[in-house]
């Protein structure tokens, strides 16, 4: 990242935290505290309670699997098209900033904001809970770091997909398409796993329909399975594949024309 794009990163990072984003993030943070600490208040984390141990990595993986898509919708909505419509892209491109620098800065900015929310709404409450609960706490530093790294990769992938769609669609349509795609993936995966689990072609389609390598790798890690090299490589290939497509799609955009 060049010096100019780093300055743009700082500017974009400040700009991304609008009043609605701050309010929504605050609401999510409040509910994350309720979900984390209410069981402790009502005695669920006790010798006689239903929860016998706290697996930090498992809780974080479950929380991140919900937060990453939700935050991707919020920070990825109109990530490119809004700048085109408002002519902010033309202002940026009038300076010595390449299209690659611009797009990568947008993706990294949104992903950084999401990762900060993951830390605030997931990591910090769970760490505090692990010190307050009387239950056994299962903590593995390697798993802990791996979960954060894998879901950062998942975040970058989602934002790259949102940026790709935003190059060709107006307004918030990009995250609408992303949401429909994710919904169809959930339905198709359920159907295939229940009715076509012995069909090799169906399983391949399920694996390649929507990128989930990082998420699946996290599931393998928290279940203490073998190191998920295949899942991680699939996640990396998806990330760089969609990032390349986003760069290609963005290269066709005429800066002086907006998406109406």
Interval 88-110 mean pLDDT: 88
Q: Which residue has the higher pLDDT, 225 or 105?
A: 105
Cα 223 from Cα 216, distance rounded (Å):
11
pLDDT at 260: 46
Structural contact between residues 101 and 70, judged by C-beta atoms closer than 8 angstroms: no
Interval 105-122 mean pLDDT: 95
Q: How many Cα atoms occupy the beta-carbon half-sphere of 72 within 13 Å?
A: 29
**pLDDT single digits (tens) 54-98:** 889 999 999 999 999 999 999 999 999 999 888 888 888 888 888
Domain definitions of the chain by residue range: 3-251
Instruction: Provide the pLDDT confidence category of residue 4 given band limits of 50, 70 and 90.
Output: low
CA nearest neighbour of 121 among 198, 26, 242: 26
CA angle 72, 76, 78 (to 5 degrees): 155
Interval 197-213 mean pLDDT: 76
Strand partners, 136: 53
Chain mean pLDDT for the chain:
87
């Amino acid at each position: 990242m060049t010096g100019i794009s780093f300055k743009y990163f700082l500017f974009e990072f400040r700009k991304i935290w609008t009043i609605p984003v701050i309010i929504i993030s605050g609401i999510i943070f409040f509910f994350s505290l309720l979900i984390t600490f209410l069981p402790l208040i009502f005695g669920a984390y006790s010798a006689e309670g239903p929860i016998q141990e706290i697996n930090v990595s498992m809780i974080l993986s479950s929380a991140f699997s919900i937060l990453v898509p939700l935050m991707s919708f919020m920070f990825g909505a109109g990530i490119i098209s809004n700048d085109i419509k408002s002519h902010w892209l033309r202002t940026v491109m009038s300076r010595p900033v390449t299209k690659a620098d611009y797009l990568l800065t947008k993706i990294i900015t949104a992903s950084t904001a999401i990762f900060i929310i993951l830390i605030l709404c997931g990591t910090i409450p769970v760490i505090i809970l692990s010190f307050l609960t009387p239950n056994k706490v299962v903590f593995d530093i390697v798993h802990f770091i791996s979960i954060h790294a894998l879901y950062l990769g998942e975040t970058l992938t989602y934002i790259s997909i949102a940026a790709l769609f935003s190059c060709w669609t107006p307004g918030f349509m990009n995250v609408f398409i992303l949401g429909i795609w994710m919904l169809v993936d959930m339905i198709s995966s359920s159907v295939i796993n229940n009715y076509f689990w012995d069909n090799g072609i169906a399983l391949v389609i399920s694996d390649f329909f929507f990128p989930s390598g990082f998420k699946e790798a996290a599931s393998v890690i928290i279940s203490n399975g073998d190191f998920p090299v295949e899942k991680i490589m699939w996640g990396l290939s998806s990330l760089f594949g969609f990032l390349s497509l986003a760069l290609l799609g963005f290269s066709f955009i005429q800066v002086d024309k907006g998406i109406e």
